[in-house]
A and B are shown apart, each in its own frame.
Chain A
Amino acid sequence: MDFSIRMIGVASTLFWILLVAFFASAVYSVKDLHLSLGEPQLTLTANSSVIISIPINIENRGYYNLGDFNLTTKVADLNGTKITEGSTFIPTVERGCELIALHNLTFRTDMLLEKGIYYLFNDSSFTITALISVKLAEVIPIKASSNFSVPWGAPFYNFQLGQPIYEPVNQTHVEVVVPISFENHAPVEINGEITIFMCNDEGTLAGQGTSTITAPQGTLYIGEFVLYVQVSEIGQKGFFEVYFSTQFLSYGPLVIPYG
C-alpha cells in the first residue's frame, strides 16, 4: 500500500508541476502576442457595395499556438440601428508566426444612399462594437469586447445658398450670383464639383452653373456661382437643384427654394 500511495503522490506532484508550468507559460505568452490594425482600404465591388478592409496584423511570438481567433465588429448609428457587421475567423495562429488577415466591413449602396444623405450634411457619431476572442494555447478562451464611439463630421455641414443677386447683362439675359457656404467637418479634404440648376416656380430650367470646390478638412468654404439666365425665365420664386460630385460620392438633387 505504501508504494501505491507514494506513486499517487509522485503522479500528483508531477501533474501539479505540469499544470502550473503550462498555465504560467501560456499566460506569460500573452506579452509576446501583438495585434495591430493597418490602414483601412476602400473597395467598390461589382454589385455596388463598398467594402472597407482593415488589415489585422497578428504576431504570435509566444510559446503556444493560438486557436479560434475571431474578430467581430458591428457598426451602428446613434439610434442603435445596425449599419454593417463584419467577422474574421482564423482557426490557428501558429507560434512564432506573423500573419495579416483582412477584416471586411461591407456597406450596401442602397443603405448608404438611404442613410448617407443625412451624414452628408449633419454631424453625428457611429457606435462600433468590437469583440475579439481567442484561445490561448488552444485551450484557454479569452474574450475582449469594447464599445466605442466614432464621431462623424459631415463634409457639407450647414450647406447654404445665399440670396441670389441679379445683375443685368443685356436686355435678354441677367447674371445671377448665388453665394454658397458650408463647413467641411469630414476628416479629409473635399475636392469636386457642385452644379446648380436654377428653376422657376413652374419647374422650367432658367440656367445652370458649376463650381469647382476644394475644402480642406475643418474649414469654412465660402464661394459663389455665377449663372447667366434669360430674364423671361426668372420668376419671383423658384428653386435650385444642387448636385454634388466629389472624389467619394455623387449626390443630387438637393432642392433649395428661393424667393
Chain B
Amino acid sequence: MAEESGMRSFAKKFVFNAIKAMLKTFIFYGLYLFVWSFFAIFESYVPNLHQTVENFVIVYISLGIFRDIMSDTVFQYFFDVAKAFFVIGYLTLALNGGIINLLYMGITLTIDLRFFLTAAILLSLLGLSRSILQAINYANKKAESTSPNF
C-alpha cells in the first residue's frame, strides 16, 4: 500500500515536472522567436546564422527539460552546470572567439563581439557558481535531514 502510494507520488511529481518543463520550453521558445525576429534580417548576410542559433536553442532547451525533470534531485544541478559550460563553449566556438569575419559581395566584414562574449561568459560563470552553491546547499540540507539528532 505504501509502495503504491510512493509510486503514485513519484508519478505525480514526474508529471508535474514534465508540465513545468514544457511550459518553460514554450516560454523560452517564444522568447527565442521574439529575439530571433531582430536577427532574421541578417540571415542572408551571415551564412548558417539560423542553423547556429537553432542548434544552440535546441541543446539549451533540452538541458533545461532534463534539469526540470530531475528537479528536486542533485542531478538538476549537474544539468545546470552542463548548461553553463555549454553556453560558454558554444558561444566561444560559434563566435570564433569573439572576432567574426564575413565576406559579403566582395566586402570583408569584421565584427568584434569580444565585449558581448566576455559579458556572456562572466554571466555563465555566475550561473555556474550559483549551481555549485545550490548543489552544496542541497547536499548540506540532505545531510542535515538524514543525520540523527543528538
Q: Residues on A close to B: CB < 8 A?
A: 1-2, 4-5, 8-9, 11-12, 15-16, 19-20, 23-25, 27-28, 30-31, 139-148
Contact of B110 with A140 in the complex, beta carbons under 8 Å:
no
Contact B39–A24 (Cβ < 8 Å): yes
B120 touches A11 (CB 8 A): no
Could you tell me if B113 and A140 are in contact, using CB atoms closer than 8 angstroms? yes
With both beta carbons as reference points, the residue of chain B lying nearest to A28 in the complex is identified as B38
CB distance from A135 to the nearest CB of B (A): 9
Q: What are the residues of chain A within 8 A of B140 when measuring CB–CB?
A: 1
Task: Choose, from B1-9, B12-20, B63-71, B122-130, the stretch at the interface.
Answer: B122-130
Chain B residues in contact with chain A, CB under 8 A? Answer: 35, 38-39, 41-42, 106-113, 115-116, 119-120, 123, 126-127, 129-130, 133-134, 137, 140
* CB pair A144 B108 closer than 8 Å: yes
* Cβ B109 vs Cβ A143 within 8 A: yes
Also in contact, A148 and B106, with CB within 8 A (given A8-B129, A20-B35, A31-B41): yes
Q: Indicate which residue in A16, A24, A147 contacts B123 across the interface (CB closer than 8 Å).
A: A16
Query: Which of B41, B123, B133 has most chain A Cβ within 10 Å?
Result: B123
In angstroms, Cα B108 to Cα A12, docked, is 36
Give the distance to chain B from A16, nearest Cβ to Cβ, in Å: 6
Inter-chain contact A19/B119, CB cutoff 8 Å = yes
Question: What is the chain A residue whose CB lies nearest that of B136?
Answer: A1
User: How far is A140 from B116 in the complex, measured between Cα atoms in Å?
Assistant: 8
Are A144 and B107 within 8 A (Cβ)? yes
